[in-house]
Amino acid sequence: MKSPYFSIIIPVYNAAHFLERCLTSVLDQAFTDFEILAVDDGSTDASLAVLQQLAGNVSALQVFSQANAGVSAARNTGLKVARGQYVLFLDPDDYLAADALTILKKQLVSRPDIACFNVLLASYNRTYAMALNERFARPQLLAAPSFLEVIFTQGGFRGYACNKAYRRAAIQGMYFDEHVAYLEDELFNVQLIQRVTTILCLPEPLYVYWQHAESLVNSGFNPKKITAIQAVNRMLTSVPTAFQTDLKIRRNRLIIELASGALRSHRQEFKQLRAMYCRLSPRCQHWVYGPANRTILRVANWHFEGAARLFCVKESLVKSRLFYWLRYRSARP
């Protein structure tokens, strides 16, 4: 049997009301040389039934079912059976932009090991493209050492798995860490640096990320998120010295962010995070992403709980209508 050009892996957990939109975005693509590998990860809603019903009418869709083991395990199940030349990861609450596969196929003529593309951030009331650094404003083919800059540079393509196409031969035998529930995709990408030679960067937004409260990223504090610290610590052992300072600063901020979520209802985890922060040496002396975060990190050096509370205030302001109004006013000439 001829191998498809794309293998599109969809890890599914309790996403029944998003699945039709997600799968339709793939099936409506003009480029149709693909297979869809949907892995139900022990859903307790109607997700598996929806997938099985659709699979009866769509030959490109293969459905797998497993006991709940997390998104990394579901992606790994898909990787083990993928046959495509390139592998894409699509979350079930997100969807592909129109003609995404056609655009991507045309750009992959150079056969890069990884292709990165931009993301549209969408919600019920607005949609906008992720802001990219000027360096990535045009299509370009980069050598492997630049991959870390692509991930870590402010305004880069970040460490997401969903906005990348991976040449399957280049990642053969590589899997997501099933013990990491948050930042697992960034860890996966950092660990690829020794295996890839060329990276293609595309400014076109080909993936639509749906922002909603039910996703792991936006669902408030979950003890599983603490595994993100483990992920960052492992990244620190893999990246050159030039990237380590910013990564350590990011880790410190992440500990405070998680602690702000645990502050009220998860005191045991809060104490764990506070102890983790107190063991860090040296502490951050600066923050590259603005005065609010810099202030929070400075406060944390002498009063960790105060910094966590300050982070809560900052996040409330960021999510408020007043913040968007002020930002709009400041942007006007």
- DSSP codes, 231-293: HHHHHHTTS-HHHHHHHHHHHHHHHHHHHHHHTTT-HHHHHHHHHHHHT-SSPP---TT-HHH
Tens digit of pLDDT for each residue in 107-137?
Answer: 999 999 999 999 999 887 788 888 899 999 9
- SS percent in the chain: helix, strand, coil, step 5: 45, 20, 35
Does the pTM exceed 0.75? yes
Q: Tell me the average pLDDT across 38-53.
A: 97
Tens digit of pLDDT for each residue in 189-205?
Answer: 999 988 999 999 999 99
Helix pair 16-27, 47-55: axis angle to 10 deg:
30
